[in-house]
A and B are shown apart, each in its own frame.
Chain A
Amino acid sequence: MRFSLNFIKEFLDIDADAEGLVEILTQAGMEVEHYQKAGNDWIFDIEVTTNRYDWLSLVGIAREIAACLHKQFKLPSVKLVKKPLLGSPRIVIENLKDCPYYIGRVIRGPKIAPSPGWLKDRVANCGLSVISNAVDITNYCMLKWGNPLHVFDLDKIEGNIYIRRARSGEKFVGIDEKERNLSVENLVIADDKKVIALAGVMGAKNTEVGPGTRNIFLEAAIFSPISVRRSRRAAGLDTDSSYRFERMVHPDCLEYAAQEAGDKIVELCSGTFGGYAAAGKKPPVKQQKLTIDLDHMNRYLGQEFSGVKVKSILANLGFSLIKTAGQKMTLLVPQLRLDVKREVDVYEEFSRVYGYNNIRTSIPFLVPQEKRALSTGPLGKLYRFKNDLRALMASVGLREAVTYSLESSAQLAQLGEKDCISLSNPMRSQEDVLRPTLLLSLLKACRYNLNRGNNSPRFFEIADVYAKAGRSFQEACVLAVAACGGQEEFFRLKQAVAEMSGVLFSGKIVFSVGARPNFSNALIITIEGQVYGFLGKLDSNIGASLDLKEDFYFGEFDVGLLYAGRQEKLLRRFSVYPAVYRDISALFASGKKFKDAEVLIRSTAGAVNRLDVIDSYRGKDLPAGSLALTIRVFYQADDRTLTSAEVDEIHTRVRVRLEQSGIGLR
């Protein structure tokens, strides 16, 4: 809302300079976004919150300033003249819910001309366009009282005035010269033949007041906020007028605004008052009575306030004190403040004028729930688990990524993901569904980095994925890991997952070769039979179709399952006796996997501490598709040092079993 200092000074005596006023306004809750000098005037742009429709008027702002300066403000007085009554046009309201009250005033014989200088300044300094004396007067009164007004060229109105819903397809050309098709969503002012205004939003060109106008019909009305909002949204408009109707316009100010506008048109345009008409019923402004308990307010705000101070501030805000009984005060809410409905609203009124920054500060003693029920409940524990998981994944060399939860349904379809939860009102097709997997997002993060020369991005992300579940939905948290590049990147991811298992699952993780759609190679990860997720290499055709130039490795795990499957941490004793190692050079023909050898070695030897692959080789001198590995096997017993002879014996058995299984030894 833009207003000027000189305008306020028309009805409020202010000493403060511009800077001082900025402070006062901001502290009262009208944050000054911008202010500047304009000739001998100052212009302020304030933020108006949606509940304070009264700040959309100068009288409303003036009252606030007065209260902050500890003064009382009196509404300027306007003498209402409602006679003679107009015979025509008749005003017909179709639905009182859309328009409870409509007033018309006629002014005869005005001369439409440019406004005098002071009026131009008032209107322009409040950010509105200067048009002509009659129109500027309506804007002046709207700015002053908060009620939008409109002037029609009376002679161009054919027949009666109707306030009704538009019929589907009816046309409207506004004073902005744009033609629009209307629907039943639009509330209009019409005469017998045509639409003459979009009610509360904008007048039509066909009845615009101009130099040729000989008679003016002045409209002042109350339109329901909902119908104006729906109407202006349907028409794609947002005007100073609709803005005010949507929030609330005051029935009492309506009469004053219309009277003052009529008077000023008569005065400045040399016209004569032609008559008054009204339709509907002025909504009664029932001034609400509220009883507040000072003890309760003090407990609510956290400070002891003196009754004297409270009464003084509330009086300056326009509250009338009807009765006092001990700590209880019965108040009459000020006429203009229809937004004050209950005690807490009064607390806010008092505390903001007292000054939030003047209220004392204290630290509460926050009593934890019994047995800390919230933190030890499933959600509290899950939060801590996610943090532990995050720290763990960072410690094994992965970078946490944060990627968008929204994806493109077209791209997800390429991965075979169909029927994702979709947005009814997406902004772009690239973000029109909720993702059911982190695969695409992390692939794009890797691609982004590769395209910028950042090699070996290695990511993890802990985030929710979303899927339909019958008529309902599921939102679950997953951990995903991703890397791209050469094969060693995959095995790094695998080791990271194994390390995670070591900490959370006592190392009981089992990687089994499995199948996974979109993946050319995949491992299914189970712990004691329960599947937790997978880890694999994306089919390179898919990667290529998504413009990824390197191989992509990815794994995803259900965090809820990981959390549920955690093993309680208890020390796993390790042997104090030295380990002895022997190397095996093994040839794995195509089809034979390292896992087969590992299982054989462990089951044959029993006392195997660990196996390392210390060398691997594929070459032309090997049979096609085979892999030569040097495996270092560490033998160690829990109860004694194994002798060389014992180790040799075990190792020989191992070698025999391996050869029997078809793994060549060199």
Chain B
Amino acid sequence: MEEELKKIQDGFAADTAQGLDPQALRVKYLGRKGLVNDLFSRLAQMPAEDKAAWGRRLNELKNSLDQSLKEKMAAPAVFREALDLTLPGKGVIRGSSHVLSQVSRQICSIFEKLGFEVIEGPDIEDEWHNFTALNFPADHPSRDSFDTFFLDIPAVSVSAGRHLLRCHTSPNQIRVMEKNKPPMAVISPGRVYRPDEVDATHSFMFHQVEGFAVSRDINFSHLKGVLFHFAQGFFSAESRLRFRPHFFPFTEPSAEVDVSCFKCQNKRPEGKCSLCKGKGWIEILGCGMIHPNVLEFCGIDSAKFQGFAFGMGVDRIAMLKYGIDDIRLFTENDVRFLDQF
């Protein structure tokens, strides 16, 4: 018995020196099936005169182990177990939305807060919605810069024209205005298609967000205000915008809009900013007052109503904001790219 007692004490000392978990040790030594209880059960087989003495010794041992374990448990548990916390974390599977969806969502959300309503339109369009009603004359060079993919679906009528994949989101202006009376303010995100060779900055499929508002008194000053609000919400509160006269068949006056380079803050460093190529400004948007012809094509009286419209490229804006240098990354869907957003 003396030996057994010593074995337990030595064993306990060794185990605690190793830093084993006190909970586990409690079970091992003081549990129902533990080593100390095992000795207690053997007391019964001992001669009567020894029982009392050994009983006392066992109780002392039990109390001493118990006390020792209590102290260990009360002490701050720095490293109770031999556990290497520098091993990699695991077990979490995170899904995500695509960075283009996130950017599109963010853009739409900024405008929604001003009162714009989000309405999407179809990818398959016809010449009426994509060109004619947007005031593009047939066979004019302005249709050149908008080369399009045509589809082998029979035209519904001569005036509707051939079916095609929309080359900008502007056709949805026509769709909404044809079916609804002003006032209205609409945001329209979506995929657009142009026959372009695919390279780092071009693709035959990309994404745009269109916005327009029509009422009795929407004006050019409002257009500027809405776009400033957008730039400051999307890029930074310090963003400045520069409006440059331009030409679109569907707006008059028309403008292209540049945002101050958020990389070099328009300071045009000697070393030439890689983002704005030293210009200090980055083109992000086209916009203007909706051409009266367009309103008339949609059955809206241009003498009573006026409106503005704008459009921006989502891929391009995402690339500018996040420093993405290759548009192909969006559609390759490499998880090492997707997981960063």
A27 within 8 A of B: yes
- Tell me whether B153 and A399 are in contact (CB under 8 A): no
Selecting from A126-134, A143-151, A351-359, A624-632, the interface stretch reads A351-359
> Is A543's CB within 8 Å of the partner chain B?
no
Complex interface: chain A residues within 8 A of B180 (CB): 369, 373-374
Q: A303-B221, A422-B152 are in contact. Are A427 and B204 (CB under 8 A)?
A: yes
Within 8 A of B (CB), among A219-277: 225-226, 229-230, 246-247
Contact between A393 and B221, CB atoms less than 8 A apart: no
Q: In the bound complex, do residue A475 and residue B225 qualify as a contact, i.e. CB atoms below 8 Å apart?
A: no
Contact A359 B183 (CB under 8 A): no
Residues of B161-199 whose CB lies within 8 A of A: 163, 165, 176, 180, 183-186, 191, 193, 195, 197
* With A348-B245, A402-B98, A427-B204 as contacts: A362 and B191 at CB distance below 8 Å: no
Say yes or no: A449-B96 contact (C-beta < 8 A), given A362-B222, A466-B123: no
In the complex, the answer to whether B197 meets A427 with C-beta atoms within 8 Å is yes
Residue from the list A359, A363, A406, A463 in contact with B226, Cβ < 8 A: A363
Cα A356 to Cα B123 in complex, Å, equals 34
Residues from chain A with Cβ under 8 Å of B204 in the complex? 406, 427, 431
Q: How far is the CB of A502 from chain B (nearest CB, A)?
A: 16
A454 to B337, CA, bound (A): 11
B331→A404 contact, CB < 8 A: yes
Which residues of A lie under 8 Å from residue B184 when comparing CB positions?
A: 369, 374
Q: Report if A366-B220 is in contact (Cβ < 8 Å); known contacts: A406-B205, A424-B150.
A: no
**Please, which residues of chain A bring their CB within 8 A of the CB of B217?**
299
Q: Are B142 and A50 closer than 8 Å at their CB atoms? A: yes
Q: Given A352-B253, A359-B224, A380-B119 in contact, is the A299-B219 Cβ separation under 8 Å?
A: yes
B191 shortest CB reach to chain A, Å: 6
Classify the secondary structure of B's interface with A. mixed
Check A471 against B205 for contact (C-beta < 8 Å): no
Given A362-B222, A374-B176, answer yes or no on A387-B105 (Cβ-Cβ < 8 Å). Answer: yes
Q: Does B252 sit within 8 A of A, measured CB to CB?
A: yes
Smallest CB–CB gap between B21 and chain A, Å?
A: 27
Q: Which residues of A72-114 are within 8 A (CB) of B?
A: none
* Structural contact, B123 and A464, CB atoms closer than 8 A: yes
Given the known A-B contacts A302-B220, A405-B191, are A356 and B149 also in contact in the complex, defined by CB atoms under 8 Å?
no
Kindly list chain A residues whose C-beta atoms are within 8 Å of the C-beta of B249.
51
**Is the pair B96, A399 in contact by a Cβ cutoff of 8 Å?**
yes
CB distance from A301 to the nearest CB of B (A): 5
Instruction: Tell me whether A448 and B334 are in contact (CB under 8 A).
Output: yes
Residues in B neighbouring A367, C-beta threshold 8 A? 115, 183, 215
- Total A-B pairs, Cβ < 8 A: 245
Asked whether, in the complex, the Cβ of A399 is within 8 Å of the Cβ of B338, the reply is: yes
B interface residues, tally (CB under 8 Å): 83
Residue of A nearest to B281 (CB): A26
Among A225, A344, A463, max chain B CB count under 10 A is at A344
B172 to chain A, nearest CB (A): 10
Could you tell me the distance between the alpha carbons of A342 and B253 in the complex, rounded to whole angstroms? 12
Tell me if B338 and A344 are in contact (CB < 8 A).
no
Residues of A within 8 A of B292 (CB): 342, 344
* A516 in contact (CB, < 8 A): no
Q: How far is the CB of B196 from chain A (nearest CB, A)?
A: 8
Q: Is A66 an interface residue (CB 8 A)?
A: no
Do A471 and B154 touch (CB < 8 A)? yes
Contacts of B252 in A (CB 8 A): 344-345, 347-348
Contact A400 B98 (CB under 8 A): yes
- Whether A50 contacts B141 by the Cβ 8 Å rule is yes
Residues of chain A at interface, number, CB under 8 A:
93
CA distance A50 to B139 in the complex (A): 13
Contact flag A357-B243 (CB < 8 Å), given A394-B96, A421-B153:
yes
B213 at interface by CB-CB < 8 Å: yes
Residue A344 contacts which of B225, B291, B333 (CB distance < 8 angstroms)? B291
Kindly identify, within residues 107 to 125 of chain B, every residue whose CB is under 8 Å from any CB belonging to chain A. 114-120, 122-124
Whether a CB of chain A sits under 8 angstroms from the CB of B159 is no
Most buried by B among A364, A448, A449: A364
Q: CA–CA, A27 to B255, complex, Å?
A: 10
Q: Is the CB of B139 within 8 A of A424?
A: no
* Identity of the chain A residue whose Cβ is nearest the Cβ of B308 in the assembled complex: A364
User: Which listed residue (B149, B247, B306, B333) contacts A401, Cβ 8 A?
Assistant: B333
Residues on A with beta carbons closer than 8 Å to the beta carbon of B243? 356-357
Contacts of B218 in A (CB 8 A): 364
Bound Cα distance from A345 to B252, whole angstroms: 6
Answer whether residue B234 sits at the interface, using C-beta atoms and an 8 A cutoff.
no
B272 → chain A closest CB, angstroms: 14
Q: How far is the CB of B38 from chain A (nearest CB, A)?
A: 32
Report chain B residues within 8 Å CB of A448: 332-334
Q: Do the beta carbons of A301 and B139 come within 8 Å of each other?
A: no
Q: Contact between B149 and A31 (Cβ–Cβ < 8 Å)?
A: no
**Interface residue A44 (Cβ < 8 Å from any Cβ of B):** no
The 0/1 profile, CB within 8 Å of B marked 1, for residues 385-417 of chain A is 001001101111111111111100000000000
A361 within 8 A of B: yes
The interface residues of chain B lying within 8 Å CB-to-CB of A393 are 95
| Given contact pairs A404-B205, A425-B195, A427-B197, A27 touches B94 in the complex (Cβ within 8 A) | no
**Nearest-CB residue, chain A, relative to B123:** A464
* Contacts known (A300-B289, A424-B150, A448-B334); A347 close to B253, Cβ less than 8 A: yes
**B57-107 interface with A by 8 A CB criterion:** 93-98, 100-101, 105
Nearest chain B CB to A477's CB is how many angstroms away?
9
Which one of A51, A342, A448, A463 has the highest number of Cβ atoms from chain B below 10 Å of its Cβ? A51
Q: Does A199 count as interface, using CB distance less than 8 angstroms?
A: no
- Nearest CB of B to A182, in Å: 20
Assess the B96–A301 pair: CB atoms within 8 A. no
**Is A383 part of the contact surface with B, judged by Cβ < 8 Å?**
yes
List the A residue with the shortest CB-CB distance to B112.
Answer: A375
Q: Indicate if the CB atoms of A356 and B245 lie closer than 8 Å.
A: yes
Residues of A within 8 A of B246 (CB): 29, 31, 49
| Residue A368 CB within 8 A of the other chain | yes
State whether the Cβ of A379 lies closer than 8 Å to any Cβ in chain B: yes
| Bound Cα distance A365, B225 (Å) | 11
Contact assessment for B151 and A361 in the assembled complex, using a CB-CB cutoff below 8 Å: no
**Known: A27-B244, A347-B252. Is A449-B119 also a contact (CB below 8 A)?**
no
Rounded to whole Å, the gap between the CB of A463 and the closest CB of chain B is: 8
CB-defined contacts of A357 to chain B, threshold 8 Å: 242-243
14 A-B contacts (beta carbon < 8 Å): A31-B244, A225-B140, A300-B289, A356-B243, A363-B226, A366-B215, A367-B215, A380-B118, A383-B119, A401-B333, A434-B151, A445-B333, A454-B334, A463-B191
List B residues at the A interface (Cβ < 8 Å).
93-98, 100-101, 105, 114-120, 122-124, 139-142, 145, 149-154, 156, 163, 165, 176, 180, 183-186, 191, 193, 195, 197, 204-205, 213, 215, 217-222, 224-226, 228-229, 242-247, 249, 252-256, 289, 291-292, 306, 330-336, 338-339
Q: A352-B253, A363-B222 are in contact. List 15 more A-B contacts (CB 8 A).
A: A226-B139, A301-B221, A302-B219, A302-B220, A302-B221, A347-B289, A348-B253, A362-B225, A366-B116, A369-B184, A383-B119, A400-B101, A400-B338, A423-B149, A448-B333
